Amino acid sequence: MDHLSTKRILITGGLGYIGSEIFKMVKQYSEECLSIDKLADVSGNVQSLNLKDAAKTSKLIIDFKPDVIIHCATHSALAYRDHLSNSFQEDFSATVNMLNALAGMRDCRLIYLSSSYVYSGLAAHQYYDEDSLLAPKHNFGIAKSFFEQFILKIHPNTVIFRLCSVFGPGQAMHPNVILAFAEECLKNHSLTVWGKGERKLQYIYIKDAVNIILRSFDLVTGIYNLGGDDYISTRDTAEDIAKFFKVKVNFLENKPEGETLPFLSNQKVKNNLKNDLFTSFSITLNEYLMSLGKT
């Protein structure tokens, strides 16, 4: 990560799960790092700025003169599911203001975090890559698909990562399946799963995600899937977590399961970064559960 010391790096959404983990890593190597969030940071490490404020956004970006912007500020899939219009309007306003400020900074690398939800609506039993035709049905996927094309059109010097479910240490504002299962085991000493556990998920460990994002400053521009090598059923995940915490799993087979998104090929990012990028799910799950068990 020594290359970080030569870059001026701006992180948006710095109090979010991924943004905060990126900031932790970057500030170890770079003194020219600025993290912002619309929420106030009691520690004072993250500057309060709402990207909907066009004047303040423009001033900050022009004054800071970033070499790289890592744009993590976005509403969640849950927010888009329940409040599509409001979530989209705020994210669109923030993104436009940021892109307007970058109009005279074409050399600035923009890294934008999209989502595997752009593949919602496609058959789950097939694998897809970045060239697959999209037909998203989930609100989050519809919005992210739009933002991808919009950003690339306005600021071509952009790398977009379609993130799968991210898990691991840190303060997740919207707990995913793994954290929810682990917390239930710790709290109730049992684990309840809706349905038969047939839903499948592709995960990426937070450490792997941060590592890849921070190595993408010189990556060929465009869109990249960012998910691990494993495609795990909810049943297998639940049973592994229950075994770790020595509790029993109860399957409520009459309850509906969540949506299964298709498995996304990560070969493109592997080919371009040329390294072992993804830690196996079994190793990362055990590492994460051990950390939770100590808290």
CA distances from 68 to 33, 51, 293 (A): 10, 17, 37
Strand partners, 160: 112, 223
pLDDT tens string, the chain, 295 residues long: the values are 778 888 999 999 999 999 999 999 999 988 899 999 999 887 888 999 999 999 999 999 999 999 999 999 999 999 999 999 999 999 999 999 999 999 999 999 999 999 999 999 999 889 999 999 999 999 999 999 999 999 999 999 999 999 999 999 988 777 789 999 999 999 999 999 999 999 999 999 999 999 999 999 999 999 999 999 999 999 999 999 999 999 999 999 999 998 899 999 999 999 999 778 899 999 999 999 999 865 5
In CATH, what number does 2-167+203-228+263-279 get? 3.40.50.720
Q: What is the DSSP letter of 258?
A: P
Delimit the domains of the chain by residue range. 2-167+203-228+263-279
CA atoms within 13 A of residue 202's CA, in its CB half-sphere: 26
Provide DSSP, 122-167: S-TTSEE-TTSPP---SHHHHHHHHHHHHHHHH-SSEEEEEE-EEE
State the pairing for strand pair 109-115/68-71. Answer: parallel
- Rounded Cα distance between 136 and 120, Å, is 5
What are 70's strand-pairing partners?
A: 11, 111
Report the DSSP beta bridge partners of residue 205: 167
